[in-house]
A and B are shown apart, each in its own frame.
Chain A
Amino acid sequence: MKQPLNVAVIGYGMGGRVFHAPPVSRTEGLQLAAIVSTRKAEIARDHPGVTVLTSPDAVFDDPTIDLVVVSTPNAAHFDLASRALARGKHVVVDKPFTTNAKDARALARRAEAAGKLLAVFHNFRWYSDYIALKHLIDDGTLGEIKYFESHFDRYAPQVPDAWRETPGPAGGMWWDLGPHLVDQALQLFGKPRAVMADMAIQREGGAAVDFFHVLLRYDSLRVVLTSCLVAPADDLRFVVHGTKASFIKHGIDCRNGPDPHPGTLVMGDGVTKEAPTFRADDRGFYAAVRDAIAGISSNPVPPEQAIAVMDLLELADRSAEERCELDVPA
Chain B
Amino acid sequence: MAPINVALIGYGLAGRVFHAPLIAAVDGLTLAAVVSSREEEIRKTYPSVAVLRNPQQAFADPSIGLVVVAAPNDSHFDLAAAALAHGKHVVIDKPFALTSAQARDLIRRATGRVLSVFHNRRWDSDFLTLKRLFCDGALGEVVYFESHFDRFRPEATQRWRERAGPATGSWYDLGSHLLDQAVELFGRPRAIAADLAARRDGAVTTDYFHVVLRYEHLRVVLAGDSLAPADDVRFIVHGTGASYIKHGLDTQEPYLNSGGKPGDAAYGIDPRPGYLVLPGGTERPVTALRGDYGAYYRGLRDTLAGTAPVPVPAREALAVMELLEAGGMSSAQRREIVV
The 0/1 profile, CB within 8 Å of B marked 1, for residues 188-227 of chain A is: 0000001010101110000000010101010010101000
Interface contact A146-B199, CB-CB below 8 Å:
yes
Interface contact B238-A231, CB-CB below 8 Å:
yes
In whole angstroms, how far apart are the Cα atoms of A243 and B233 in the complex? 18
The answer to whether the Cβ of B269 comes within 8 Å of any Cβ in the partner chain is: no
Number of interface residues of A (CB under 8 A): 42
Interface contact B225-A147, CB-CB below 8 Å:
yes
Instruction: Give the A-B pair count, Cβ closer than 8 A.
Output: 110
**Residue of chain A at shortest CB distance from B225:** A147
Interface contact A211-B334, CB-CB below 8 Å:
no
Q: Report which residue of A222, A245, A267 has the largest number of chain B beta carbons within 10 angstroms of its beta carbon.
A: A222
The answer to whether the Cβ of A163 comes within 8 Å of any Cβ in the partner chain is: no
Q: Which residues of A contact B134 (CB under 8 A)?
A: none
The answer to whether the Cβ of B278 comes within 8 Å of any Cβ in the partner chain is: yes
Interface contact A243-B154, CB-CB below 8 Å:
yes
The 0/1 profile, CB within 8 Å of B marked 1, for residues 24-65 of chain A is: 000000000000000000000000000000000000000000
Interface contact B230-A323, CB-CB below 8 Å:
no
Residues of chain A in range 230-254 having any CB-CB distance to chain B below 8 Å = 230-233, 235-236, 239, 241-246, 248
Interface contact B335-A230, CB-CB below 8 Å:
no
Q: Report which residue of A155, A196, A230, A264 has the largest number of chain B beta carbons within 10 angstroms of its beta carbon.
A: A230
Interface contact B229-A232, CB-CB below 8 Å:
no
**Residue of chain A at shortest CB distance from B221:** A213
In whole angstroms, how far apart are the Cα atoms of A245 and B230 in the complex? 8
The answer to whether the Cβ of B143 comes within 8 Å of any Cβ in the partner chain is: yes
Which of B208, B218, B233 interacts with A222 by CB under 8 Å? B208
The answer to whether the Cβ of B227 comes within 8 Å of any Cβ in the partner chain is: yes
Interface contact A196-B193, CB-CB below 8 Å:
yes
Which of A196, A230, A267, A325 interacts with B238 by CB under 8 Å? A230
Interface contact B144-A228, CB-CB below 8 Å:
yes
The answer to whether the Cβ of A268 comes within 8 Å of any Cβ in the partner chain is: yes
The answer to whether the Cβ of A266 comes within 8 Å of any Cβ in the partner chain is: yes
Which of A222, A230, A244 interacts with B210 by CB under 8 Å? A222
Q: Which residues of B contact A194 (CB under 8 A)?
A: 334
Interface contact A323-B193, CB-CB below 8 Å:
yes
B224 to chain A, nearest CB (A): 11
In whole angstroms, how far apart are the Cα atoms of A324 and B193 in the complex? 8
In whole angstroms, how far apart are the Cα atoms of A153 and B236 in the complex? 12
Interface contact B335-A323, CB-CB below 8 Å:
yes
Interface contact B281-A157, CB-CB below 8 Å:
no
Residues of chain B in range 225-246 having any CB-CB distance to chain A below 8 Å = 225, 227-230, 233, 236, 238-243, 245
In whole angstroms, how far apart are the Cα atoms of A102 and B241 in the complex? 42
Q: Which residues of A contact B195 (CB under 8 A)?
A: 196, 215, 217, 222
Known A196-B334, A323-B193; judge A232-B221 contact (CB<8 A).
no
**Residue of chain A at shortest CB distance from B277:** A233
Q: Which residues of B contact A241 (CB under 8 A)?
A: 225, 227-230
Interface contact B240-A220, CB-CB below 8 Å:
no
In whole angstroms, how far apart are the Cα atoms of A194 and B239 in the complex? 31
The answer to whether the Cβ of B279 comes within 8 Å of any Cβ in the partner chain is: yes
Interface contact A198-B240, CB-CB below 8 Å:
no
Q: Which residues of A contact B219 (CB under 8 A)?
A: 198, 200, 202, 211, 213
Known A155-B279, A268-B229; judge A323-B336 contact (CB<8 A).
yes
Number of interface residues of B (CB under 8 A): 40
Which of B208, B214, B230, B242 interacts with A246 by CB under 8 Å? B230
**Residue of chain B at shortest CB distance from A266:** B230
Q: Which residues of A contact B277 (CB under 8 A)?
A: 232-233
The 0/1 profile, CB within 8 Å of A marked 1, for residues 327-339 of chain B is: 0000001111000
**Residue of chain A at shortest CB distance from B238:** A231
Interface contact B144-A231, CB-CB below 8 Å:
yes
Interface contact A246-B245, CB-CB below 8 Å:
no
Known A222-B208, A222-B210, A232-B279; judge A246-B334 contact (CB<8 A).
no
Interface contact A224-B210, CB-CB below 8 Å:
yes
The answer to whether the Cβ of B217 comes within 8 Å of any Cβ in the partner chain is: yes
In whole angstroms, how far apart are the Cα atoms of A228 and B277 in the complex? 15
Known A194-B334, A233-B277, A324-B335; judge A228-B238 contact (CB<8 A).
yes
Q: Which residues of B contact A230 (CB under 8 A)?
A: 143-144, 238-240
Which of B199, B212, B228 interacts with A220 by CB under 8 Å? B199
In whole angstroms, how far apart are the Cα atoms of A233 and B240 in the complex? 11
Interface contact B238-A232, CB-CB below 8 Å:
yes
In whole angstroms, how far apart are the Cα atoms of A270 and B154 in the complex? 13
**Residue of chain B at shortest CB distance from A244:** B229
**Residue of chain B at shortest CB distance from A217:** B195
Interface contact B197-A157, CB-CB below 8 Å:
no
B72 to chain A, nearest CB (A): 28
In whole angstroms, how far apart are the Cα atoms of A323 and B236 in the complex? 24
Interface contact A246-B217, CB-CB below 8 Å:
no
Residues of chain B in range 84-128 having any CB-CB distance to chain A below 8 Å = none
Q: Which residues of A contact B208 (CB under 8 A)?
A: 222
Interface contact B230-A239, CB-CB below 8 Å:
yes
In whole angstroms, how far apart are the Cα atoms of A107 and B272 in the complex? 54
Interface contact A325-B199, CB-CB below 8 Å:
no
Interface contact A233-B238, CB-CB below 8 Å:
yes
Q: Which residues of B contact A236 (CB under 8 A)?
A: 236
The 0/1 profile, CB within 8 Å of B marked 1, for residues 257-287 of chain A is: 0000000101110100000000000000000
Selected A-B contacts with CB under 8 Å, 15 pairs: A146-B225, A146-B227, A147-B225, A198-B212, A211-B219, A230-B240, A232-B239, A232-B242, A232-B281, A233-B245, A236-B236, A243-B227, A248-B230, A268-B154, A323-B193
B residues bordering A, Cβ < 8 Å? Answer: 143-144, 152, 154, 191, 193, 195, 197, 199, 208, 210, 212, 214, 217-219, 221, 225, 227-230, 233, 236, 238-243, 245, 277-281, 333-336
Which are the 8 A-B pairs with shortest beta-carbon distances? Answer: A324-B335, A246-B230, A233-B243, A233-B277, A266-B230, A325-B334, A323-B336, A246-B229
Known: A147-B228, A198-B193. 4 other contacts (CB 8 A): A146-B227, A153-B238, A239-B230, A323-B191
